[in-house]
Amino acid sequence: MTASDDRRLRATQAWLEIALAEHASIPSFARFSIELVALGAPPDLLERSARAMEDEVRHTKMAFAIASRLAGKSLGPSAINVEGALVKQPEWREVCRSTLLDGCIGEGVATRQAEFGAARSGSPEAKGFWKTVAREEARHAELAWSFLEWAVQQKPELCGYLQRELDRKVESMGLWPSDLEDELADLMEFGILSRADLGRIAVESVAEDIIPRAREVFAPVLVG
């Protein structure tokens, strides 16, 4: 296998993983909608959750299209085991925690990573994907913050807990160790970010976007 074949193969695999992650995020919004209803959230949040689910379907289709083109054959999702995904009545603490981790942090970090992808991608198709994803993941992160703003008005006692969960998450995040091999390091021409860039951007996003925003959302409730 030539070096260029090897890079193309690794890029295909990386795009397939992106597509599968997007695919797995579709039912997260189905679940979030059920949780919103169960907690009595305002319809505006439900509307935004339904729209976010459509966004994730679009991201999934775009990423599979890129992976398929690189592979030279049609690629798509396989079955996912969702057993146990919805077994009990949603509970405030757990819904707030997962919204903070997956929504505020996960989608917030993904927004910045996508902006970087849009600015650096060598391929126009990948650039288009990252542009769309940057715009829409930003919206999903905003939905998560809107939910938490509403939730801590209902349950102010959760603020301390959520702040501690955020602190714990921040402590566990790190940069990609420079002595470890980064198998994505040379794939930017295919629109794939290196693990080092992904890690660095995640740390920046948490420090510059997420911690200050959490302070705005939790602090007034904590003081009041």
Please give the residue ranges that form the binding site for Fe ion (CB under 5 A). Answer: 22, 56, 59, 107, 137, 140
Q: Which DSSP category does 100 fall into?
A: I
Nearer to Fe ion, 11 or 18 (CB): 18
Taking the complex as a whole, how short is the minimal distance between the CB of residue 219 and Fe ion, in angstroms? Answer: 26
Cβ distance to Fe ion smaller for residue 59 or 163: 59
**Residue 96 CB, nearest distance to Fe ion (Å)?**
18
Least Å distance, CB 61 to Fe ion, is 11
Long-range contacts of 120-127 (CB under 8 A, 24+ apart): 120/188, 120/193, 121/188, 121/189, 121/190, 121/191, 122/188, 122/189, 122/190, 122/191, 123/66, 123/189, 123/190, 123/191, 125/65, 125/66, 125/69, 125/191, 126/66, 126/190, 126/191, 126/192, 127/191
Q: Residues 6 or more apart from 156 whose CB is under 8 A from it?
A: 221, 222, 224
Nearer to Fe ion, 80 or 219 (CB): 80
Closer Cβ to Fe ion, 34 or 185, answer by number = 34
Q: What are phi and psi of 108, to 5 degrees?
A: -65, -50
State the minimum distance, in angstroms, from the CB of residue 111 to Fe ion.
Answer: 9
At its nearest, how many Å lie between Fe ion and the CB of residue 151? 19
- Cβ proximity to Fe ion: between 55 and 165 the closer is 55
